[in-house]
Each structure stands twice: as structure tokens, then as C-alpha cells.
Amino acid sequence: MMFVRKLLKLLSTISIVSIIVYGLIHLPELFGYHKLIIDSDNMKSIYSKGTIVYYYETNKINVGDIVSLMKDNNIVCGRVFSISNDGYIIKYDNTSKNDFANNKDILGRNINIIVLFLGPFVTFVNNNYILYGIICFIFIALNIIFNKRKVKHKKVLVIDE
């Protein structure tokens, strides 16, 4: 029984920590930033697969900026190589390929806040939030039920004078 209590306490703690981490990952969105989970190696020198990056919408894009852009119905990240009146030449750090992007393709400029390796976790929770919530609730509830400490009442002798 002691093993079950310890296991439930561990699973409950992991559930609570994961809920807090998930909330913190979404915190920048309250300030107008957009979250993107990297699923390619285009910018491997900076972002590995599963990294979460944030970008913000702006028209002020400079050469050398890392931007998030829409390419072939996918959001990708690339570095602005040059700017012309027609749009931007985007270079990817991990390939020799260049792309052209016009203003409507550019979603925003990336910021230097990244969260490593938690992309798959966020994707799982986003796609299965009801299942995730139920599992966390069950672990936390079972921990509370099984780890209630019984308070022993001590008998106190009162002497009236």
C-alpha cells in the first residue's frame, strides 16, 4: 500500500508540474506573441525539431531577421537574406535553398524566447486536452484520497480547580 501511495504522489506531482509548464508555455500569447512548434530541420543551427518558438506580427523586417512564414500551407522559419520592393529572399540555415516570400507570406518576426524539446508535449495536450485533463484529475484525486493522513486526537485531561 505504501508503494501505491508513493506512486500516486509522484504521478500527481508530475500532473501538477505539467499543467504549470503548459500554462507557462502559453503565457507569451497573452502579450500578443504567437507560438510555433518546429517540425523541420530548416533552421537546425538555431531550432531543433520539437522546439517551441514565438513570433510577433510586424512590418519592420530587416536583413538577418529570423521570421515565421507561410510556405506551401505550412508555417516555417527562415532568415531574411535580402529585401526588395517585391518581397523577401528567405534563406534556411540547414539547406542551400532560397525562397521568395511576399509581405502576406510573412507571419512575423521571431523573438529570442525558445522552449526546447517540449513541442511534442504541447502537441499531445492540444490534440488530446480532454484525455489529458481527465488523466491529471484522476491522478490528483487519487493522491488526495489515498494520502489523507488520519489525525490522531490526543486525549487531554482537564483538571478543574
| Residue 149, pLDDT score | 65
Question: β-strands 98-101, 88-91: how paired?
Answer: antiparallel
Which pLDDT belongs to residue 146?
A: 84
pLDDT for residue 130 is more than 90: yes
What pLDDT score was predicted for residue 133?
A: 95
Grid cell at residue 137: 484529475
For the cut 60, the answer to whether the pLDDT of residue 150 exceeds it is no
pTM for the full predicted model: 0.79
In three state form, how does the secondary structure of 22-71 look? HHHHHHHHHHCCEEEECCCCCCCCCCCCCCEEEEECCCCCCCCCEEEEEE
Give the domains, in start order, of the chain with CATH numbers: 2-146 (2.10.109.10)
69-121 pLDDT per residue, tens: 998 888 899 999 999 988 999 999 888 888 999 989 999 999 988 898 899 99
Q: Would you state the pLDDT for residue 153? A: 63
H or E stretch at 124: helix 119-127
For residues 19-33, give the mean pLDDT.
Answer: 95
- Give the residue carrying C-alpha cell 534563406: 91
Query: Rounded mean pLDDT of 37-56?
Result: 89
Question: Which pLDDT score, from 0 to 100, does residue 151 have?
Answer: 56
Task: Give the pLDDT confidence score for residue 113 in this predicted structure.
Answer: 86
Give me the phi and psi of 149, to 5 degrees please.
Answer: -95, 130
Grid cell 501538477 is found at 16
**Per DSSP, what are the bridge partners of residue 15?**
none
More confident residue, 48 or 148: 48
- Is pLDDT of 138 > 60? yes
